[in-house]
């Protein structure tokens, strides 16, 4: 994985998304004009056109860098009959891809760029991975630094889809560890999707948790349990 190259491209892409520098738009936007007039001005503005060209160049280069990074994964997916250009094609499809699950699990621990790792995790958030992927998701969660909230939260989001009764205790351990912070939110939701006499007590304990998002998720879970009980 060419981390430095991707990081540099991502940084430049972020800068370009802010738009051209004000110095590049000296005469643009100073007076009220129609959309057609603005378009004409932009077409005549060399600096603005230069910004557009660089933006497109960086976008293409970044896409190519991501594709090169995930090439081993894509090749293995094709070997099992899953013909995709990117793991993100799986994330955005409504079709089943059961044969891809073992491949995704094999590649999850590998050193891919964060964007592609996130694609693998999101692609595992399907019923076909239920139970099968729980152990790998938990392992990835525990080895990820606690300050990496977004990535750990995403792992919890997948667990909320794939959890089975065999992993209730493991998920309870995650939500009871307060140092896990806000990343516990979706693990709480995962428990709410299960039927177990233990989880109501866990949710009640979380009502006094100092983490607001975890507290609110526990409240929703208890309301769900109470509705089922009332019915």
| Alpha carbons 228 and 211: distance in angstroms, whole number | 26
Helix (H, G, I), strand (E, B) or coil at 150: helix
pLDDT, residue 229, reads 59
| Alpha carbons 155 and 121: distance in angstroms, whole number | 7
What is the overall mean pLDDT for the chain? 91
Long-range contacts of 220-226 (CB under 8 A, 24+ apart): 220/192, 221/188, 221/189, 221/191, 221/192, 224/192, 225/192, 225/199, 225/200
The answer to whether residue 94 scores a pLDDT higher than 70 is yes
pLDDT band at 24 (very low <50, low <70, confident <90, very high): very low
pLDDT, residue 33, reads 73
pLDDT band at 22 (very low <50, low <70, confident <90, very high): low
pLDDT band at 41 (very low <50, low <70, confident <90, very high): confident
CB 113 within 8 A of CB 63: no
pLDDT, residue 150, reads 96
CB 202 within 8 A of CB 176: yes
Over the stretch 95-126, which tens digit does the pLDDT of each residue have?
A: 999 999 999 999 999 999 999 999 999 999 99
* Per-domain boundaries in the chain: 3-69, 70-129, 148-231
């Amino acid at each position: 994985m060419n981390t430095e190259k991707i990081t540099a491209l991502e940084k430049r892409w972020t800068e370009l998304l802010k738009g051209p520098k004000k110095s590049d738009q000296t005469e643009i936007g100073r007076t009220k004009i129609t959309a057609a007039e603005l378009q004409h001005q932009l077409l005549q503005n060399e600096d603005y056109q230069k910004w557009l060209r660089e933006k497109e160049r960086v976008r293409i280069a970044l896409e190519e860098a991501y594709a090169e990074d995930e090439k081993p994964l894509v090749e293995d997916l094709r070997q099992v009959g899953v013909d995709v250009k990117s793991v993100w094609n799986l994330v955005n499809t409504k079709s089943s891809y059961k044969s891809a699950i073992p491949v995704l699990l094999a590649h999850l621990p590998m050193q891919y760029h964060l964007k592609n790792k996130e694609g693998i995790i999101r692609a595992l958030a399907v019923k076909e991975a239920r139970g099968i992927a729980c152990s790998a998701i938990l392992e990835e969660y525990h080895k990820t630094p606690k300050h990496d909230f977004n990535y750990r939260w995403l792992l919890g989001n997948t667990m909320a889809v794939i959890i089975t009764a065999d992993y209730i205790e493991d998920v309870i351990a995650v939500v009871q560890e307060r140092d896990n912070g806000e990343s516990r939110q979706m693990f709480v939701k995962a428990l709410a999707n299960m039927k177990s006499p233990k989880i109501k007590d866990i949710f009640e304990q979380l009502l006094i948790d100092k983490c607001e998002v975890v507290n609110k998720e526990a409240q929703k879970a208890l309301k769900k349990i109470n509705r089922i009980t009332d019915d």
